[in-house]
Amino acid sequence: MTKTIPMFSRCVHLDNVSFDFNKVIKELDFKYSKSGKGEPDERKLSSKLTETKDVLNRKKWNWLKKIVNIQLEKYTKGVMKYYNDFEMTTSWFTKTYPNDQSSFHCHKNSMVSCVLYLQCDVNSGDLCFIDYKNDNLFDIPLTEFNIYNSQSFQIKPEPGLIIFFPSQLQHKILKNQSTLTRYSLACNFIPVGHIQNKHSDSYIHIKR
């Protein structure tokens, strides 16, 4: 029997949700927003972010937080088979104008992250993941790319697409080559409850 095993793979989970995206966009307030202020130019985020990083804790967004948490459980329980529940720690909306993009980054102090697209088209800038830990000794030309040999992956945005991924994965938003301003929601999550066995040296307990 011939078998190929994708050993030690990292899971990026895609799903779709549906609600009135335009209604959400109309309710967003970027009056007090920031865009990477104080960072070197080459690492600056061109996208505008809502000033606070806990937008889904506001009462008016409770319904949207429930939608995200349902999808979160599909990923953590259904796909990854994690025993622990997960708690949302941060959430913010992003507004990306045409020709804007971001630099590679990861989400620290988090285990799982997600992005949900509200307004975009196929030219609004792919979400690009890169493997900085690739340890190939030789840079051999490839006849085609697949899940075993690729050092980067790109996902095209579409309204209602929600993507969950390990927070430590380096990623960036490619240039928005559309005439449409892209709107999205991003969230971070950590596990809660008992982490490891009580008799383990690395045992911790994270309260909600």
Q: How far apart are CA 145 and CA 142, in angstroms?
A: 7
Within-domain flag for 141:
no
Within-domain flag for 31:
no
Number of domains in the chain: 1
- Residue 174: the pLDDT is 94
Q: Does 118 or 201 have the greater pLDDT score?
A: 118
Contact 185, 116 (CB under 8 A): yes
Q: Which domain holds residue 158?
A: 13-26+42-133+147-196
Within-domain flag for 49:
yes
Residues 6+ apart with CB under 8 A from 3: none
Quickly state the pLDDT bin for 202 (edges 50, 70, 90).
Answer: low
CATH code at 119?
2.60.120.620
| Helix, strand, coil abundance in the chain, percent, nearest 5 | 15, 30, 50
Q: How far apart are CA 105 and CA 167, in angstroms?
A: 10
Each residue's pLDDT tens digit, 97-108: 999 988 899 999
Specify the length of the chain in residues.
Answer: 208
pTM of the entire structure?
0.87
Within-domain flag for 142:
no
Each residue's pLDDT tens digit, 43-102: 345 578 887 889 999 999 999 999 999 999 999 999 999 999 999 999 999 999 999 988
Contact 30, 48 (CB under 8 A): yes
Within-domain flag for 177:
yes
Q: How far apart are CA 191 and CA 207, in angstroms?
A: 9
